[in-house]
Structure 1
Amino acid sequence: MTEKKYSPNVPPSGGLAYQQTAEQVLTHVQSQASGLDRAEAQARLQKTGPNALPEKKGKPAWLRFLAHFNDVLIYVLLAAAVLTAVMGHWVDTLVILGVAVINALIGHIQESNAEKSLKSIRNMLSSEARVIRNGNHETIPTTEIVPGDIIVLRAGDRIPADMRLIEAHNLRVEEAILTGESTVVDKHTNSLSGELPLGDRTNMVFSGTTVSAGGGVGVVTATGKDTELGHINQMMAGIEKHRTPLLVQMDKLGKAIFAIILAMMAALFVFSLMFREIPMGELLLSLISLAVASVPEGLPAIISIILSLGVQAMAR
């Protein structure tokens, strides 16, 4: 191995990896066909970090639980609970709060189950890879792959990192995850010229794609967030989030129900004052009961349950 320190941020002097010969790429990443030695691989792992896409930090459980109260229909229940508490009807207050908390708890449990299902998918995709180190074939976790590693590819393998091919034996790769093309791509080891899109870089294979036939050997040129899949992940992280059409419609429905409840309460309040002699405390309690009865408090929980069950079904 050369004594020059490897730096993953230094671009190749002879162009991009697909524009260079396999020998030039090996020289640039300071590797060789027999692979890295374990000490060098460990040093590079410390410098580049694990070969994994950075995961967005999730919200704490208590905050996700409180988010289930962020609904206009639940606001009606909470307002009713406050009014009954002010009036001293503690049994009614506890019942109303119990309904709100139980619905939020059901939604939270189902949402947590859906997140566990998604996490199990991520764990399933993070498999092992066969590398050549010190001339020996080894099987290591994909997270320990570093630039310069020599990876052996076989049919059915999910490619763990971006690689420049140095051997290809009837190698065909399915790259729909990156290019959207449904047909498999034949791969080779010849250098290419010009600025080419990902789909035309036929001497490269990319993280997340799958070997559909044949086999080959490649040298890793990028790992983790530096891969093409990692670039897409970073772009997606910067996209402004929007509510889905279903949630927008649910918001509109909730606001419409809220407006109808307010109109009914106002109309009944005026009617009772003008045509009925009902004590104010009894009148307010009746209006609160009407509001609570009119609220479909189970609707937010039912929507959460249906969506989370859909996620779990897709995960299975």
Structure 2
Amino acid sequence: MSMAEIFWHSLPIEEVIRVLKTDPEKGLTKEEVETRVQEFGKNLLPQKPLPSNFALFLGQFKDILIVILLIAGLLTFVYQKYADTLAIFLIVFLSALIGFYQERRAWDILEGLRRVARMKATVIRDGNKRILDSEEVVPGDIVILEAGDKVPADARIIRSREMKINEMELTGEFLPSEKRAGIIPEKTPLVDRENMLYMGTIVEQGEGVAVVTATGFNTELGRIAGMIEEKESPTPLQNKIKRLGFEVAGIIGIFVFIIFLIGLSQGRDFFLLLETAVATAVGAVPEGLPAAVTITLALGAERILRKKGLVKNLTSVETLGSTAIICSDKTLTLTEGKMKIEEIEAKKGDKFLALKSAVLTSKAFIENPEEPKEKWILRGSPTEKAVLKKAIEIGLDYRAFEPKLIQKIPFNSKDKIAFAFYKEDGLKTIYACGAPEKVLRICQLKEKERNILEKRVGELTKKGLRVLASAGKKGIRKTSIQGLKDLTFFGFLTLTDPLRPEAKEAIKVCCQAKMVPIIVTGDHKLTAKAVSEKLGIKVKDENILEGKDIDRLSDEQLDMILEKIKIYARVEPRHKLRIVKAWQRKNKVVAMTGDGIN
């Protein structure tokens, strides 16, 4: 079995270390690294080489109309019609020059982005910690990661502490995933593999040590890049121009043939007839069309660039206009990619306490409090920043309570509650905020009350909302969370990723233009359904398909249900590629929008 076929997440870490022939404490030796570089190559993703200026310029002469014009130019030169020759070649050269300039600029921008994107990695080799270019990382390397680091290759976690990874680069979702060591089932979807790290993702919180399992082409990103490295198919415009070129050539050929037949039947001179036929052919060629098309596309590319869009190939401008299906990611495409408090559910007097408990237990803070309020920069996790922003809106200043702080116990993946102890009015006070199922357990509630609240949590989550519960108690005796059972429940804070202001109107315009918008997201189906309803897209359960369901379908089965699916949830990049290809099999021009892997 090759290393690419091993399910690293389902093996004991000792077995992973044994298969990779490495040492979790000392790492690889210099000799082992050199051997593995020879075997696996550098840790680089597959990418097309930058085309030369000559190749890029030559590529502008592929259209059939350009070829017809070049032939016409040569014929006019042969018959000493130099003015016509000069005019034709000038038009062809101008068209090629404009196309070359636009595409050269796009390639240069992309190359600049590639250079900026290079990153470093911290590894252990020969028992020593080293910092090196990520392209030098090999399978079996022991990598050390902490908050802010970019994961240099696919890796299995050996040990970690409160590690959270932003996997937007791979899944398109901005909320970080909790990561921990351990073994998980073989069939666990990629987005739920908590013991694995993937190339290009970012450590948002915590730290960890991991062993590299795959580099370059063999990483998840590398496999995706390999799947889409296919020969480019002609665009709709290129097909139309090609068809027009053949039609023009056919019509000209018929006319020339008729002229010859009539002339020969009248006994006219053969060479005079040939010259007449050439003149007719040259006159019939639409010399200005290629230049007009190129200039129009170039103007379109310029307009897109002013809106911060980059067009690599000019013909893609027209392809964009031929789009029939838009597969849209959810986060940061349809939504803002940041959490916002939707509502605080509590008794009238407890709403303030519910928010106060949430903000006093969080680690969010204002980075530049000396600046005017509208220029404040909030730091913290997406959820904590949403809580702090709401507190600022109602005038609740967490800084006024800092002198009263006794101790904070931050949120962790085991307890799923953040605690804080303050001294208020001479009494010790505890505040708690976190997962509803955890907070409700430590509150003094009757069984009926608890059941009602748990049912309400289920109703809120079905709407695609994230729910926090907050509680507290004044007059406690000790600053300990051991045996807590008698806190007062304050209320629920519901959070959502709000729609981008222009999203609903954009979807409406797409529908009016007979384009079909489809949501393709790594998020849960309830969240995606809630977003679609806000956008005005009516969706039933039968219109939703999850990644695990796609895996069970053949291409033929997927094609049969394709047109009724409006939401694809919990999908991986490979699923997105299958969806796009399925629509292409129906001869549809498909656009994929989003960030990260999209």
Range class of TM-score, shorter chain: 0.7 to 0.9
- Equivalent residue runs for 1:162-181 within 5 Å: 162-181=154-173
User: What is the distance in 2 between the residues matched to 1:283 and 1:214?
Assistant: 81
**Partners of 1:149 and 1:220 within 8 A in 2:** yes
User: What is the distance in 1 between the residues matched to 2:68 and 2:122?
Assistant: 59
User: What is the distance in 2 between the residues matched to 1:243 and 1:60?
Assistant: 21
Counterpart residue type for residue 302 of structure 1 = I
DSSP 3-state at the match of 2:76: helix
Moved more, 303-312 or 148-157: 303-312
Counterpart residue type for residue 175 of structure 2 = T
User: What is the distance in 2 between the residues matched to 1:43 and 1:280?
Assistant: 74
Alignment partner of 1:29 out of 20, 23, 36: 20
**Partners of 2:155 and 2:213 within 8 A in 1:** yes
Counterpart residue type for residue 21 of structure 1 = P
CA distance change for structure 1 residues 194 and 79 in 2, over 3 Å: closer, same or farther?
Answer: closer
Say yes or no: does 1:298 pair with 2:291: yes
**Partners of 1:173 and 1:212 within 8 A in 2:** yes
Say yes or no: does 1:235 pair with 2:227: yes
Partner of 1:3: none
Report the CA distance between 1:37 and its aligned residue. 2.6
Runs (4+) of structure 1 exceeding 6 A deviation are 279-286
Partner of 1:115: 107
Report the CA distance between 1:182 and its aligned residue. 4.6
DSSP 3-state at the match of 1:208: coil
* 1:285-309 alpha-carbon deviations (Å, 9 max, x no partner): 9757754676234234325635765
Say yes or no: does 1:74 pair with 2:101: no
Partner of 1:131: 123
* 1:102-142 alpha-carbon deviations (Å, 9 max, x no partner): 32133223322222222222222231111122333211011
Question: What TM-score, normalized by structure 2, do the two folds share?
Answer: 0.43
* Aligned alpha-carbon RMSD (Å): 3.7
Counterpart residue type for residue 298 of structure 1 = A
Figure out how many residues of one structure are paired with residues of the other and give that number. 295
User: What is the distance in 1 between the residues matched to 2:206 and 2:298?
Assistant: 44
**Partners of 2:122 and 2:143 within 8 A in 1:** yes
Partner of 1:200: 192
Higher relative contact order (CA 8 A, sep 6+): 1
DSSP 3-state at the match of 2:228: helix
**Partners of 1:132 and 1:149 within 8 A in 2:** yes
What are the ranges of 5 or more consecutive residues in structure 2 without an aligned counterpart? 264-271, 312-598
* 1:11-67 alpha-carbon deviations (Å, 9 max, x no partner): 89xx73212233332222122223223332223222221111233456654343222
Partner of 2:482: none
Counterpart residue type for residue 51 of structure 1 = N
DSSP 3-state at the match of 2:61: coil
Identical pairs, percent = 33
User: What is the distance in 2 between the residues matched to 1:22 and 1:306?
Assistant: 56
**Partners of 1:111 and 1:308 within 8 A in 2:** no
CA distance change for structure 1 residues 242 and 303 in 2, over 3 Å: closer, same or farther?
Answer: farther
Report the CA distance between 1:143 and its aligned residue. 1.0
DSSP 3-state at the match of 2:207: strand
User: What is the distance in 2 between the residues matched to 1:65 and 1:11?
Assistant: 40
User: What is the distance in 2 between the residues matched to 1:294 and 1:260?
Assistant: 17
DSSP 3-state at the match of 2:75: helix
Report the CA distance between 1:203 and its aligned residue. 0.1
User: What is the distance in 2 between the residues matched to 1:299 and 1:127?
Assistant: 44
Moved more, 289-298 or 137-146: 289-298
**Partners of 1:76 and 1:291 within 8 A in 2:** no
User: What is the distance in 2 between the residues matched to 1:209 and 1:246?
Assistant: 37
Higher helix share: 1
Say yes or no: does 1:153 pair with 2:151: no
**Partners of 2:154 and 2:196 within 8 A in 1:** yes
User: What is the distance in 1 between the residues matched to 2:116 and 2:300?
Assistant: 22
CA distance change for structure 1 residues 9 and 86 in 2, over 3 Å: closer, same or farther?
Answer: same
Report the CA distance between 1:227 and its aligned residue. 1.3
User: What is the distance in 1 between the residues matched to 2:277 and 2:53?
Assistant: 37
Say yes or no: does 1:244 pair with 2:215: no
**Partners of 1:73 and 1:297 within 8 A in 2:** yes
Moved more, 157-166 or 108-117: 108-117
Partner of 2:266: none
User: What is the distance in 2 between the residues matched to 1:182 and 1:16?
Assistant: 26
CA distance change for structure 1 residues 10 and 173 in 2, over 3 Å: closer, same or farther?
Answer: closer
**Partners of 1:158 and 1:209 within 8 A in 2:** yes
User: What is the distance in 1 between the residues matched to 2:42 and 2:228?
Assistant: 20
Report the CA distance between 1:224 and its aligned residue. 1.1
Moved more, 168-177 or 185-194: 168-177
**Partners of 2:4 and 2:214 within 8 A in 1:** no
**Partners of 1:160 and 1:207 within 8 A in 2:** yes
**Partners of 2:64 and 2:241 within 8 A in 1:** no
Say yes or no: does 1:225 pair with 2:217: yes
Higher strand share: 2
* 1:225-283 alpha-carbon deviations (Å, 9 max, x no partner): 1112222222222x45323345445656x5599489959x99xx9xxx9xxxxx98997
Counterpart residue type for residue 143 of structure 2 = I
* 1:50-85 alpha-carbon deviations (Å, 9 max, x no partner): 111233456654343222122243234323312321
- Equivalent residue runs for 1:2-17 within 5 Å: 9=2, 16-17=7-8
- Equivalent residue runs for 1:48-127 within 5 Å: 48-56=40-48, 61-127=53-119
Report the CA distance between 1:161 and its aligned residue. 0.6
- Equivalent residue runs for 1:252-263 within 5 Å: 255=245, 258=248
**Partners of 2:165 and 2:205 within 8 A in 1:** yes
DSSP 3-state at the match of 1:296: helix
CA distance change for structure 1 residues 250 and 81 in 2, over 3 Å: closer, same or farther?
Answer: closer
User: What is the distance in 1 between the residues matched to 2:160 and 2:118?
Assistant: 24
Moved more, 80-89 or 282-291: 282-291
